[in-house]
Amino acid sequence: MAPSAPVRILLLAPDLLGESLALQLTRRQSDWEVSLRPDALNGHPQIVIWSIDKLPSLSALQREVLLLQERWHPAPLLLLLPRNVEASRDQLLTLSAEGLLQNGDCAQLQVAIDTLLQGGRTVRLQTVAPPSELPSLGLAQSLLLSGLQQISNDLQVIEALLKPPPHSWLLCLLLEGRCRELRSARALLLWLWGPLQVGLEDAVPLRVPMQPSPPAEESTAITLRQRNALAVWNSIRERLDGSVQTGLSNATGRLLAIEGLHPDRRRELLLALLQQLDHVLARLRHEDPAPARWSSLQPELRRQALTAMAGSYVQIPRDGVLQPVASTLLASADLEGVDDEMPDPASMLMPLLADQPVLVNGQLLPADDPRALLQLETLVSNWLVRTAELIGAELLEACGEWPELRRYLLGDRLLATRELDRLRNQLNNQLRWSEWIERPIQLYESNRTLFQLRAGRIEPLQLTEPRDQELNSLGWWQRQVALLLETRDALAPQLQALVRRLGDLAVVLLTQVLGRAIGLVGRGIAQGMGRSLGRG
């Protein structure tokens, strides 16, 4: 049997580092032929690796990448980046190299080389995560949190004064009484207005640390075994599967129905939705991928996901009779609902089905580009969370009518009827407020809120896009909200100019008229006093 041809690799790196990497790579793969200089190559390289010890300016690096790709085409280019890079993830993803590996070991380097040799792409970055924006709170929530934080701050100050206790028994008695008053006030606030997830025992620390916390690192790992639509979807599903398996926390600033579910049921529901989405995409690849066909498949997709989450053979007693959970839930749940905040499905489906380009920040990028893949992942995450919300609301409704079902589907804190009804009422009020007030404002401002899975959290992402057609289809009340915003924008400049002129007029009156009058009166008094002193 004839030996296979060696894999020619061009490694551009400093001398010592290049020799060390070449020795480790050839030791792991005997059929790899690593050259440290272009003149030492025995033919055209099959892959080019550039190790960068110090990152120059991003524009200069992009020019060098383009020159290397032009010179060694069609060999893929793999960039080895240092640990500390003064560039964000989005800036590094603009580089046109087929592979990006930051602070990787030899095993990761070998996997990246194998992926690129097979025609895929790989990205593994560890950049500093941007500071996360705090979710915006409503007026009632902000007042509640500020009151609780003030009470907690006063409690911590008083407790610090009581350790050790003061020598005066009267002062000690007053401080203990003040502590009891503050605790009672906090308990009353939480009993009246506190949401289910509020647990602010120590909302504000007594002493703020002087040293700022180190910035968190954001890890980005993308592996495409091939550069087509199917490989892009497989990579997105693997990433979302990993996020769901590790657990998700709510960082949206609003209540979610899936928060009430048991952690195991929530994870099973999200994974079942991903699996059903995979089946639907495989089906649409052989059928019509039009958005109408996609919409017609949504109810069946939700029913299948609900069945997989509940279990086909699980039975729970209801009024003393065992009943199958899945079929009973399917008979009572309304899974035909539509979320108006869902974006156009064509922007998510066509790149994953027909390998169409993705519009990212004004650029049309192929679906296998890391920036396009991350945007498609955001769209899939938004569909996943919003679809799970529709199913979760129906499950909460069913648990209200079937108490025995709560131990199987819901968390421990929602076993009590009062807590469950409280959560359902809060979700209903939040939905009404969103439909009547928030949605008209978002439509008028051309904003859309997407939910993305990021660093183990469900985070909101504001997307700006024209929504005039949805704005024109609003009801009467919602149109009045948009009209109030338009009136405010129209009258604000005139009101600001009027207030500015009134302020200028007040300044003139105070300085030119009243000030001079006071000066004349003071001068007259001084002259009168001088004459009196002169006569004396």
Return d(Cα 438, Cα 341) in angstroms, integer: 11
Please give the chain's pLDDT, 536 residues, in tens. Answer: 445 678 889 999 888 888 888 888 888 888 888 888 888 888 889 999 998 888 778 888 899 999 999 999 999 999 998 888 888 888 889 898 999 999 888 888 999 999 999 999 999 988 765 555 545 555 556 667 777 888 888 888 888 888 888 888 888 888 888 888 888 888 877 776 654 444 433 333 333 344 445 555 677 888 898 889 999 999 999 999 999 998 888 888 889 999 999 999 999 999 999 999 999 999 998 887 777 889 899 999 999 999 999 998 999 999 889 999 999 999 999 999 888 899 999 999 999 998 899 999 888 999 999 999 999 999 999 999 999 999 999 999 999 999 999 999 998 889 999 999 999 999 999 999 989 988 899 999 889 999 999 878 999 999 888 888 888 888 888 888 888 888 888 887 787 788 788 877 887 777 777 777 777 676 777 676 666 656 65
List pLDDT tens digits, range 262-278.
999 999 999 999 999 99
Strands of the sheet containing 457-464, edge to edge, are 249-250, 457-464, 447-454
Structure tokens at 490: 């129209």
Chain position carrying tokens 């076993």: 415
Structure tokens at 296: 């017609």
Return d(Cα 261, Cα 414) in angstroms, integer: 9
Tell me how far the alpha carbon of residue 321 is from its chain's centroid.
44
Q: How does strand 99-102 pair with strand 121-128?
A: parallel
Chain position carrying tokens 């050839």: 26
Q: SS3 sequence, 2-25?
A: CCCCCEEEEEECCHHHHHHHHHHH
Q: CA-based diameter of the chain, in Å?
A: 133
Contact between residue 440 and residue 333 where contact means Cβ atoms under 8 Å apart: no
457: β partners: 249, 454
| CB-count exposure of residue 419 (10 Å: 0-12, 13-18, 19+) | middle
Q: Can you list the alpha helix ranges (DSSP code H) found in 132-210?
A: 139-161, 169-193
Chain position carrying tokens 């928030």: 438
Nearest C-alpha neighbor of 11 from the set 151, 155, 102, 109: 109
Q: How does strand 321-324 pair with strand 315-318?
A: antiparallel
Tell me how far the alpha carbon of residue 359 is from its chain's centroid.
20
Nearest C-alpha neighbor of 328 from the set 275, 404, 416: 404
Nearest C-alpha neighbor of 373 from the set 227, 243, 218: 227
Q: 517-521: long-range contacts (C-beta < 8 A, 24 or more apart)?
A: none
Nearest C-alpha neighbor of 114 from the set 41, 49, 65: 49
Q: Where are the domains of the chain?
A: 7-128, 149-193, 229-474
State residue 75's pLDDT score: 92
What is the number of helices (H) and of strands (E) in the chain?
18, 14
DSSP 253-282: SS--GGGGB-HHHHHHHHHHHHHHHHHHHH
Backbone angles phi, psi at 82, to 5 degrees: -70, 170
| CB-count exposure of residue 309 (10 Å: 0-12, 13-18, 19+) | buried
Return d(Cα 126, Cα 122) in angstroms, integer: 14
* Distance (Å) of CA 304 to CA 236, 239, 335, 393, 526: 21, 22, 11, 17, 95
Burial track 148-184 (b if 16+ CB lie within 10 A, e otherwise): beebbbbbbeeeeeeeeeeeeeeeeeebeeebeebee
Contact between residue 98 and residue 76 where contact means Cβ atoms under 8 Å apart: yes
pTM beyond 0.85: no
Which residues, in sequence order, are CB contacts of 79 under 8 Å at separation 6+?
50, 52, 65, 95, 97, 99, 100, 101
Domain 7-128 -> CATH class: alpha beta
Q: How does strand 457-464 pair with strand 447-454?
A: antiparallel
Return d(Cα 399, Cα 416) in angstroms, integer: 11
Contact between residue 233 and residue 354 where contact means Cβ atoms under 8 Å apart: no
